[in-house]
Amino acid sequence: MQFTVAIDGPAAAGKGTISRALAAEFGFAHLDTGLLYRAVGAKGGDPETAAQTLTPEDLARPDLRSLEAGQAASRVAVLPAVRAALTEFQRSFARRTGGAVLDGRDIGTVICPEAEVKLYVTASAEVRAHRRWLEVGGDAEQVLAEVRERDARDMNRAEAPLKPAADALCLDTSTMTIEQAVAEAISAVKAGLAARKSHAD
């Protein structure tokens, strides 16, 4: 069975937690596509070459979760050649047998416009910065400024900007518990699986 769940949204909105919960609930494979861009940014050198030659070791670097790696990822992600080099890998992951959840910025809009379920997970910049600050510490104002800077770059770039797909279900997690957000996402996937089954019958 091929079944794709596309999850997009800004940094620290809860995409990763929701994606992992869906993958565990339904037995789907999960790809955090932000990690690909983080690995390209961290590799250094020419970003296009880095994207074309990514290895599993590049994706296993321990420093990919830092704020700096997030900023570097957002900067290389504006380059069309970098995005093009990463497209095929993401598309074939999405169509693998057994179902897949991909989270990122352009999964429902560009990578998998045919995904069976699309979610747009968001929260206010203040809430997201606070969550990030709880993880990384440091100066709270600085963390908020970095969240806003990355949002602006990811949403305003010419190539595959962050925006909800027209048919995405929007989940604003600003005032939700993680359990509520996961429960809504699980219901959306169950509805998608049921719609697909009735289509096939």
- Site of interaction with ligand DC (CB under 6 A): 11, 33-34, 37-38, 70, 73-74, 77, 104-107, 150, 154
Q: Rounded to the nearest whole angstrom, what is the least distance from the CB of residue 76 to ligand DC in the complex?
A: 8
SS3 90: helix
Q: Least Å distance between CB 75 and ligand DC?
A: 9
Shorter beta-carbon distance to ligand DC: residue 38 or 118: 38
Which amino acid would we find at residue 109? T
CB nearer to ligand DC: give 133 or 187: 133
145 or 195: CB nearest ligand DC: 145
* Torsion 110-98-102-67 (CA) sign: negative
Report in angstroms how near the CB of residue 166 gets to ligand DC at its nearest.
18
**Residue 194 φ then ψ, to 5°:** -65, -40
Which parts of the chain are beta strand (E)? 4-8, 29-32, 100-104, 117-122, 169-172
Strand partners, 8: 104, 120
Q: Which is nearer to ligand DC, 104 or 192 (CB)?
A: 104
- The minimum distance between CB 80 and ligand DC, in angstroms, equals 11
Residue whose tokens read 């359990």: 179
